[in-house]
């Protein structure tokens, strides 16, 4: 097993390039299975979740491989069914998109229940509701296998009881080939919803309204291969924005869409962080002592839940009190016990954290409990006095491409070491 060892106290300086959006890529890559042809997906982050999909595709009879560091070729021409026998689906949350893609193309699909980060109960009831509304039957076996099947899929109106990114995308995937029109009401509006819809349209789908709360899908008879470029990763960009503020640094972040970062930009400016935008670049720099703010995570365009943990670390290093309310995920404060080991003063429940900031975080051994918590602990290590060791960094590798290299290029003293190297 590997770990990160970080020496804190360095102000980040320099430039960092943002890669393709993890949350978009893990929807777009399985969506290629809808097409009995060749698709090239560009600007794909080289992360473990994508590597798992490539292994899954091999078992399903599709060909998938990297053409270079950031482009993937998927050819699903020879794929006959979407029945995943092994437990690879349990390695990540996004594997549930195989159900929508398989149902859409083959009218049936089967996988084990998805895995992913332990951040509370994340049911797939809205996914099931959507599949059933389109005419499918859904069975979950005692062993945790999900089977979906339909004689035919027929477009209909589907109202989501809660705003769900995963359900919105999965219903879009299944509805692409459905007869007639499907309308998703109370749809999620995140940028990766729009990106997935744009990709599907590039293959020949007819989807309108993505990015609003009403999405309309007119079913089509066929899709064809295409070349498509994934949008930049707003969560990766936000992570570096917060890291710059926490370390009192001065960095330029390239290859971004500033619009997608507005909730983060607004909160950092409210704290006193200086931010200058230049087209698809942004300068984030520290000028004077920052003031704490209150945060509530919400579905897009609210403050993103995936940046709650890094922001909590930043707030814990400032003088003063703040409240962070988690309005999306059920149980996303487990990691707080890890930063408390470093001296953070935080009281928390499943939904809320009360922070009394202290500028005296101290390095120690901590465990990455999930993907975004791992990124937050890196920021804590960069701020803390002394050495910080972060274990279970495989969580971080699921969603951040070359994270230690990017931080090192900004001047951070961080290295990846294997236990037997110590």
Q: Which residues are catalytic?
A: 117
Q: In what order do the strands lie in the sheet with 345-348?
A: 295-296, 320-325, 352-357, 345-348
Contact (Cβ atoms closer than 8 angstroms) between residue 58 and residue 41: no
Cα–Cα dist 16/163, whole Å: 33
DSSP string, 254-302: ES--GGGGHHHHHHHHHHT-EEEEETTEEEEE--S------EEB-STTS
Q: Of the candidates 246, 226, 242, 244, which has an alpha carbon nearest to the alpha carbon of residue 234?
A: 242
Rounded CA gap, 13 and 243, in Å?
11
The rounded Cα 385 to chain-centroid distance in angstroms is 30
Distance CA 68, CA 415 (A): 25
Task: Give bridge partners of residue 418 from the DSSP assignment.
Answer: 2
Backbone phi and psi for residue 168, each to the nearest 5 degrees, phi listed first: -60, -50
Residue 62 phi/psi, 5-degree rounding, is: -100, 155
Grouping H, G, I as helix, E, B as strand and the rest as coil, residue 234 is helix
Query: Cβ(208)–Cβ(177) under 8 Å?
Result: no
Beta strand spans in 156-201 (E) = 157-159, 181-185
Residues 6 or more apart whose CB falls under 8 angstroms from that of 230 comprise: 20, 21, 24, 25, 28, 41, 42, 43, 44, 45, 195
């Amino acid at each position: 097993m590997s770990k990160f060892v970080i020496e804190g106290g360095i102000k980040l300086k320099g430039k960092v390039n943002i890669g393709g959006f993890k949350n978009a890529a893990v929807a777009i890559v399985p969506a290629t299975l809808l097409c009995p042809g060749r698709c090239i997906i560009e600007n794909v982050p080289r992360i473990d979740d994508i590597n798992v999909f490539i292994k899954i595709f091999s078992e399903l009879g599709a060909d998938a491989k990297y053409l270079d560091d950031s482009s993937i070729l998927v050819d699903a021409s020879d794929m006959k069914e979407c029945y995943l026998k092994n437990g690879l689906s349990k390695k990540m949350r996004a594997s549930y998109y195989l159900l929508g893609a398989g149902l859409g193309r083959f009218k049936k699909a089967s996988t084990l229940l998805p895995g992913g980060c332990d951040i509370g109960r994340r049911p797939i009831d809205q996914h099931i509701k959507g599949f059933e509304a389109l005419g499918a039957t859904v069975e979950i076996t005692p062993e945790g296998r999900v089977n979906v099947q339909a004689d035919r899929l027929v477009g209909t109106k589907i109202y989501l009881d809660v705003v769900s990114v995963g359900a919105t995308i999965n219903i879009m995937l299944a509805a692409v080939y459905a007869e007639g029109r499907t309308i998703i009401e109370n749809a999620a509006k995140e940028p990766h919803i729009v990106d997935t819809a744009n990709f599907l349209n590039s293959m020949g789908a007819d989807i309108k309204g993505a990015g609003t709360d009403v999405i309309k899908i007119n079913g089509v008879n066929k899709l064809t291969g295409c070349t498509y470029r994934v949008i930049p990763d707003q969560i990766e960009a936000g992570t570096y924005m917060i890291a710059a503020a926490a370390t009192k640094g001065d960095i330029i972040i390239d290859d971004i869409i500033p619009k997608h970062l507005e909730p983060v930009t607004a909160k950092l400016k409210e704290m006193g962080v200086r931010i200058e935008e230049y087209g698809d670049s942004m300068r984030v720099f520290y000028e004077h002592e920052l003031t704490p703010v209150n945060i509530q995570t919400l579905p897009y365009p609210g403050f993103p839940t995936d940046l709650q943990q890094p922001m909590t670390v930043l707030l814990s290093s400032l003088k003063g009190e703040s409240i962070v309310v988690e309005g999306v995920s059920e149980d996303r404060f487990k990691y707080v016990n890890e930063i408390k080991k470093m001296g953070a003063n935080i009281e928390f429940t499943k939904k809320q954290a009360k922070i009394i900031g202290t500028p005296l975080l101290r390095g120690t051994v901590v465990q990455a409990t999930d993907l975004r918590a791992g990124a937050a602990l890196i920021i804590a290590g960069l701020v803390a006095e002394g050495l910080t060791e972060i274990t279970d960094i495989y969580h971080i590798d699921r969603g951040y491409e070359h994270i230690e290299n990017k931080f090192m290029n900004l001047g951070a003293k961080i290295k990846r070491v294997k236990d037997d190297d110590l």
